[in-house]
Amino acid sequence: MITGKPLLSVEQIQKKVAELALRISRDYQDRELVAVCILKGAFMFFSDIVKRIEVPLKVDFLLVSSYVKTSSSGEIKVMCNMREDIAGKDVLLIEDIADTGLTLQHLKDQLFMQNPASVRICALLNKQARRKVDVGLDYIGFDIPDEYVVGYGLDYEGRFRNLPYIAICKEKR
């Protein structure tokens, strides 16, 4: 059986989303953004944060998969790619969680091949203890311990994405 110990409440998440959006709005003043949602995990964070970013922006989506149960398969698969032409544009990748950093590094490298003006990363959660590559996160919501978390878009085998808060996922014997 799976149980969840709350880690971040709805209020904590929403406060952080507002703070991040304010910083992003200030940093990109007078620019136009392409905000890229990394699916599926970032869908809730993405929809909350873009509502609060106050610069003109376009949205795009990348469907990526690398996790099997609670550990990374190490193989990053882009199942569905972006549609926007990002040449000369400022791109902001919006991710649920940076763990090993391999997914974000892989995506960043791929995006750079399309000659954007810039690529920055905004991750709601950061598990620094498990980092394998120094991908460089520009905006971080919360540093969290090395635990598997679910909720607010994050899943365990496809479930729990609809929880409005974030919980530590434990398998109870």
Contacts with ligand 5GP by CB under 6 A lie at 41, 66-67, 72, 95-103, 148-150, 154-155
12 or 66: CB nearest ligand 5GP: 66
Point out the catalytic residue in the list 60, 85, 99, 134: 99
Least spacing, CB of residue 31 vs ligand 5GP, in Å: 26
Least spacing, CB of residue 103 vs ligand 5GP, in Å: 3
Tokens coding 9:
């409440």
Tokens coding 121:
């990363």
89 or 106: CB nearest ligand 5GP: 106
Least spacing, CB of residue 50 vs ligand 5GP, in Å: 18
Coil, strand or helix at 155: coil
Sequence-distant (≥ 6) Cβ neighbours of residue 171 within 8 angstroms: 1, 2
Task: Answer yes or no: 96 catalytic.
Answer: no
* Cα distance between residue 87 and residue 112, in whole Å: 9
**Consecutive H or E run containing 21:** helix 10-27
Q: Could you list the active site residues? A: 99
